[in-house]
Structure 1
Amino acid sequence: MEQQAFSRRRSFNRAGAISWLWKTLSGWPLPRLWRFASLVGALVYRFSKRERKVTDLNLAVVYPGLDASERRALAMQSMRHSTATMMELGYAWMAKPERIEAGIVEVYGREKLDGARAEGRGVIVLAPHFGNWEVLNFWLSSHFPFTAMYEPPKIAELEPIIRHGRERMGAQLVPTNPRGVAALLKALKRSEAIGILPDQEPDWGSGVFAPFYGRNAYTATLLPKLVARTQARVVTGVALRLPGRGFAIHFLDADERVYSEDEVTSASGVNASVEASIALDPAQYQWEYKRYRKVVEEQQGHPEANRFRLY
């Protein structure tokens, strides 16, 4: 009982400190946030062994043509952007809406969403971990009926803050279960927009292996099921950071393979669509995520598994 009480107090104290930080940083101007994130990100790269190792290994896989110094520079810049995203959460969730709207200085490809809805089709937005996806959520839910899946945070005390921040402009959050999938289908049939994380590894049984930068990555198969039942249009959406100035929203046509009924073909198209968005600025992708984890898990026990081990 005492241990449980201690754990609850520690969780509450962490939640309080994090929410205080978000609230404080929400009032900072974007140029100041970027300068601070650049300093902290360099320290994270230097002292956080886990994030540095995963980032370096991922970059070695996807950009084998870069030499060690080029990869190191890209990894450090990526860590700065990832740190900026974390520091901008308070801005995205708590700052006045008109201030965030003013910080979105450019929007490219909106006609792709408007055109689909004019045709009576829903829009599936593939939103990878690139730039600031919370700013993308803000913009989408400000301009369209928008539904996205939501998984509560590990620190339960933070859920009201996160949920309010994501829902305050009208977004509907649904659970990551069959009931949530049913809600996504209904939204698409109403010619609305929904958001999907295309680069988050699903649980075993909910995905297939498909190439991501030439190496198999376990990829969710929800998309072809949604497309087959709704004829929705698929686009990739990102909020590209313009350091010190704001953000540019980009909507890109998804790779045509995403419309295939074959799950591996569709997943290959999803990964190619993510690659196309990363090409806008590779440093803004969250390379510290273990995208190839399931490949390693599958190879456990294989006599040559260690030859292929990344993480």
Structure 2
Amino acid sequence: MTLIERLQSRTITALWRLMGSCSTRTLWRIAGILAPLYTLLARRERRVTRINLRRAWPELTDTELRPLARQSLRHSVAMILELGFAWYAEPQRVSNAIHRVHGRELLDEARAEGRGVIVLGPHFGNWELLNFWLSGHFPITAMYEPPKMAALGPLIRQGRERNGATLVPTTSRGVASLLRALRRSEVVGILPDQVPDWGSGVFADFFGHPAYTGTLLPGLVARTQARVVTGFTRRLPNGEGFDLHFLAADERVYDPDEAVSAAGVNACVEAAIALDPAQYQWEYKRWRKTPGEETDEPGWRERKLYNRRHR
């Protein structure tokens, strides 16, 4: 690790710790101050956000899309600041910031039946607080991929595991851990809206456009009979805290056909977005892979066969 990387990681860590001492209302105000600068300087994020919003809602005019894009980027800034709150604030303060929990009975009923629960947690609101709440109320296992800045890896892992979550690698060994957790009637967290590697997904419509979507879910469901729910944390107005939502999944997620299941997964994400479109992370290139492109990727068929055999 270079000197610059060490300095960067220490600076980021110090800022996260500082943000952990702030209230959610203060963090939202800071996000309002920083968002115009972020919008101006983060050209890639600004451009991708606008392109994605236009793709999702082609019927909206530019006048309607511009404020939505600005709001979305402010929520993204707030999420970055709130990482410090989720990972470093005193646990009771974090718990108090979550005002209401909607749909918890979906998890309780499944576990009462002896079934595990797969929570689809899209990049909406503050997903780190979703992990914090779940790990404080249920035994939960989730996959974890180290960040590009390696020095931040232990800090992020510590933050995510501090309330009791178990993180496993994004490998066949990690998948085996998920299966064992579900067979113990525990909770498993999956990110439904990340673009997987070639061979680990299929194309399914997301807002009417084909998006490459992971196929881990149907294998887990088929082998464990787990229940699937969508879970997300919604930021309340003016930084007053958060509400937690659990929604019954689209019934297609239980279909053994990977393409049908993936369509159900994307419908689950759309249902979450419908509650507050600005709180979704639109700067992520969800549609960056296109149908037909996979045939040009060396070894994609071999990886797909491997992934299917080791689910």
Distance (Å, rounded) in 1 between the aligned partners of 2:198 and 2:154: 30
Structure 1 residue runs of 5 or longer lacking an equivalent are 1-6, 302-311
Distance (Å, rounded) in 2 between the aligned partners of 1:242 and 1:92: 16
Distance (Å, rounded) in 1 between the aligned partners of 2:14 and 2:292: 38
In structure 1, the residue corresponding to 2:199 is in which secondary structure? coil
**231, 236, 249: which is aligned to 1:237?**
231
Structure 1, residues 100-157: CA drift from partner, whole Å, max 9, x if none? 0000001000000000000000000000000000000000000000000001111111
Distance (Å, rounded) in 1 between the aligned partners of 2:133 and 2:116: 17
Distance (Å, rounded) in 2 between the aligned partners of 1:68 and 1:159: 40
So what's the TM-score if we normalise by structure 2? 0.93
**122, 133, 143: which is aligned to 2:137?**
143
Deviation at 1:59, TM superposition (A): 0.5
1:97-136 correspondence to structure 2 within 5 Å: 97-136=91-130
1:220 aligns with 2:214: yes
**259, 267, 271: which is aligned to 1:264?**
259
1:253 aligns with 248
Deviation at 1:47, TM superposition (A): 2.4
**271, 280, 288: which is aligned to 2:283?**
288
Structure 1, residues 217-238: CA drift from partner, whole Å, max 9, x if none? 0000000000000000000000
Deviation at 1:299, TM superposition (A): 8.7
Distance (Å, rounded) in 1 between the aligned partners of 2:295 and 2:224: 39
In structure 2, the residue corresponding to 1:135 is in which secondary structure? helix
Deviation at 1:300, TM superposition (A): 10
1:54 aligns with 48
**172, 175, 181: which is aligned to 1:178?**
172
- Residue pair 2:203, 2:291 contacting (<8 A) in 1 also: no
**Counterpart of 2:63 in structure 1: which amino acid?**
S
Distance (Å, rounded) in 1 between the aligned partners of 2:81 and 2:290: 31
**Counterpart of 1:206 in structure 2: which amino acid?**
S
**Counterpart of 1:264 in structure 2: which amino acid?**
A
Distance (Å, rounded) in 2 between the aligned partners of 1:300 and 1:45: 36
In structure 2, the residue corresponding to 1:267 is in which secondary structure? helix
Deviation at 1:271, TM superposition (A): 0.1
Distance (Å, rounded) in 2 between the aligned partners of 1:63 and 1:210: 18
Distance (Å, rounded) in 2 between the aligned partners of 1:300 and 1:213: 24
1:10 aligns with 4
CA RMSD of aligned residues (A): 1.3
So what's the TM-score if we normalise by structure 1? 0.93
1:159 aligns with 153
Structure 1, residues 229-253: CA drift from partner, whole Å, max 9, x if none? 0000000000000132101000001
Deviation at 1:295, TM superposition (A): 1.1
1:194 aligns with 2:203: no
In structure 1, the residue corresponding to 2:59 is in which secondary structure? coil
Deviation at 1:296, TM superposition (A): 7.5
Structure 2 residue runs of 5 or longer lacking an equivalent are 297-311
**Counterpart of 1:290 in structure 2: which amino acid?**
K
Q: Is the alpha carbon distance of 1:87 and 1:208 closer, same or farther for their aligned partners in structure 2, counting shifts above 3 Å?
A: same
Q: Is the alpha carbon distance of 1:59 and 1:299 closer, same or farther for their aligned partners in structure 2, counting shifts above 3 Å?
A: farther
Structure 1, residues 21-68: CA drift from partner, whole Å, max 9, x if none? 000111011111001112212221122110011000000100111100
Distance (Å, rounded) in 2 between the aligned partners of 1:147 and 1:110: 18
**179, 193, 197: which is aligned to 1:203?**
197
In structure 1, the residue corresponding to 2:289 is in which secondary structure? helix
Q: Which runs of 4+ in 1 moved over 3 A?
A: none
In structure 1, the residue corresponding to 2:60 is in which secondary structure? coil
Q: How many residue pairs were aligned?
A: 295
- Residue pair 2:115, 2:227 contacting (<8 A) in 1 also: yes
